[in-house]
A and B are shown apart, each in its own frame.
Chain A
């Protein structure tokens, strides 16, 4: 019951994947090479907001070929849709015509669509049976949004959950603004080629190559996992999964995919968006300091840390993980408290590089500086310069979403808002 929420057709897809000819041919190769553990993750960001095409990230993740097994790869890109930056960009995968029809009817009901189109793809030999992948630039339906009593993000999220959970054969791969996820079953370099990611310009890229042991590979389950503006790439297997899942499920997050990445994304959304914490504090909560460390702190600091750990004890993420979380603010990398997974960081001018392996950074930036390993439990945060400046002006107190005035009261229709500004 607990993790059987997934809809049956998806399970079928997994099975199809299992009989994938490519997989069959891969079988013999297992004995010849050392089987790597876990996945590969990488990210590149320009702090100034300068946009770069997907070439580097593709190179970087391709280098870590052996860290994935062809059962999943993907990319998230920020800043790719500047012309639609006030609209939610839904990337939706369809397994069938019916699914698309049903989804589009649903979207029509709850959203106002500015544009919809099939995402351009390139046939790649290694990529078999891709789903039909569309993108929609939408705004919440103003009346329905107002009636829902939810804020815009919450409203959107609920409907994404609905599509993912209730519409067979449809899966929302990403739903943020001015960003998108490009993912599927295959090696990341093949997926990148398939999606033609070199055609997109983004100020931040994240990438993932998957070695699934935890959940079977299927298109929807490939990473990055996204929700609204969040995208998460993750390497590891968290042992606190069910504790985290049951915690976030209290607050309306349906863990349909039963993946670590999904639950980490929801935790982040809960802490950062709904509870108003900075991403750094949210990460800090998820990889909290040990009691031993807290006991050594001055009383006031200890009280603060104790309160965070106590109130958010179920948000503590346990087990080995390295994650890179992308958002409209920038990137955040985090390792588990014991540092059981590799994750390297480096800089060069405004550019910041993150990858599971140092080589994956050096191949795109041979003269990278400040190359270092991310410390266990210490969030590594890179924000856009503009975000840093804005944050400095903000109150340091967390402002939970429900205490903020509903933004849709002034932003019901993005076009109108733009006009107002103009």
Chain B
């Protein structure tokens, strides 16, 4: 059948600069470039290009750029080229469209409508280079009232288990299988260096990463891959994954060909079999079932570590979150609809869920309305793009954020959204040994550490500007936010005033 699908990208090669060194050819797992000795030039198979930009970065002479395929659309704003191409693909394959990373559609990004405050005259801003500026947070559940013996300065009852983050940011769940071991290792190393946590995702904890277990949050998801007492016992915290922002209501499917020996051992499933995560947990059909699982895990680990529950931001997320808190979750994780994924049905990714900003604001307020906000920790996830997003998230009410796409971008990800092909040229979303090798965890960890250091400096600058020297005082401090370009309802949900008010 003739393929009606058009190329999406086009390789622009500056002939004057191309030295035919072949670096591009060797860099491309999609086999786009080819040094044609006969023609004496480098040719490109544009249709195979996914715009990962590896070749652009690798080219020693900056001879390359990727551009859009210049095909005009039909002229209809309704039948856009992309819409029609999706139809062409499905007409060709009869399959569900798969895609990766986060929702790329132009839904409003509320972060960009929230502006931060700074001190002027009445209140000094604080210079983070001169004064201590605290970004440490603890996550876990707390008693509403702490019982202490003040004279002896001792706790009358121990504090429930907490995890300590030196920066209010953790790396979100990405399983070994969906990302390479080197990528996971880089995040583990960075987490150790930064004093924060990475999350194993639902793929188990690879034995090479056991040395990083104390900065791992291990996930228990519907497939229960890699879960055993050792896995639970090794971790710093446990996370029950109910849903994921990129694909609420959808399970996962890692095809058998990606279940290599290492993945198989880590997930504790036979090599070559499909790893299927059911859409729901089949032992959680209601909130009381969640409570059972939470306490099963706490029992299994002797109440020694916090248990987080992660849900996708969906319409009634506030009520769900309240239920989770009451079901014993120590940490509530809300994953907004722009959160990334290794693979998701495109229609789900692009159309299901709600923005994290609104979800976070609603959850925080609901927990406060129910007087339980200060007894649980709240983590926001789903496309935290910068330090300013972190500051906004915390000001809206989060204790900390989960961040994955940004660290992946630090590792080299160019958001080509082709993770599911397994041919990631950056060595991130692949298990192919030659590609995995491209990601030296040492460099990768350094880059992530640099990024987070940079962000931390910025967070400190922003906090200092607000006259705040501890992140505790930023949490839920919505007065530090002002909205622009938002309607009354949005302001109400976000709980912020309009700029100028």
Contact = CB atoms under 8 A, between A and B. Distances in A.
Check A-B contact in the complex, CB < 8 A: yes
Interface of A: 1-3, 37-38, 213-214, 236-237, 239-244, 246-247, 249-251, 274-278, 280-281, 290-292, 300-301, 303-314, 316-320, 337-338, 340, 396-398, 400
Contacts of A397: 147-150, 156
Contacts of B138: 306, 310, 313
Given A243-B476, A311-B146, A397-B148, A1 B373 contact: no
B127 to A, nearest CB: 11
Given A246-B478, A281-B150, A2 B124 contact: no
Interface string B440-479: 0000000000000000000000000011111011111111
Given A243-B474, A397-B150, 4 more contacts: A237-B122, A242-B478, A292-B132, A310-B162
B182 to A, nearest CB: 33
Main secondary structure of the interface of B (DSSP, over half): loop
A250 B386 CA distance: 30
A314 B476 contact: yes
A240 B117 CA distance: 12
Interface stretch (B57-65, B217-225, B491-499): B491-499
A318 B122 contact: no
A398 B138 CA distance: 23
B159 interface: yes
Nearest to B131: A338
A184 B245 CA distance: 54
B143 interface: yes
A300 B154 contact: yes
Interface string B98-122: 0000000000000000000001011
Contacts of B374: 247, 250, 311, 314
A338 B473 contact: no
Contacts of B187: none
Contacts, number: 158
B477 A242 contact: yes
Contacts of A237: 122-123, 467
Given A1-B492, A250-B373, A319 B467 contact: yes
B476 A242 contact: yes
Given A246-B478, A318-B470, A290 B132 contact: yes
Contacts of B146: 275, 307-308, 311-312, 398
Nearest to A317: B473
A275 B156 CA distance: 14
Count chain B CB atoms within 10 A of each CB in A281, A307, A317, A397 and give the residue with the most: A307
Nearest to A240: B473
B476 to A, nearest CB: 5
Given A303-B155, A304-B153, A241 B492 contact: no
Contact of B147 (A37, A292, A313, A398): A398
A320 B467 contact: yes
A2 B472 contact: no
Contacts of B154: 300, 304
Nearest to A239: B467
A379 B374 CA distance: 24
B469 A307 contact: no
Given A320-B124, A338-B126, A247 B476 contact: yes
27 contacts: A1-B492, A2-B478, A3-B497, A213-B122, A239-B119, A239-B466, A240-B477, A241-B477, A242-B478, A242-B480, A250-B368, A250-B369, A250-B372, A251-B371, A291-B136, A304-B148, A304-B153, A306-B138, A306-B159, A308-B148, A311-B142, A314-B374, A318-B469, A338-B126, A338-B131, A397-B147, A397-B156
Contacts of B496: 2
A306 B153 CA distance: 11
Nearest to B126: A338
A151 B314 CA distance: 41
Contacts of A243: 472-477
B371 A338 contact: no
B473 A318 contact: yes
Interface string B252-277: 00000000000000000000000000
Contacts of A340: 124
Given A214-B122, A250-B374, A291-B136, A338 B469 contact: yes
Contact of B495 (A2, A214, A244, A281): A2
Contacts of B474: 240, 243
B375 to A, nearest CB: 9
Contacts of A276: 145
Nearest to B134: A291
Nearest to A271: B145
B282 interface: no
A5 to B, nearest CB: 13
Contacts of B151: 396
B299 interface: no
Interface in B146-178: 146-156, 159, 162
Nearest to B130: A338
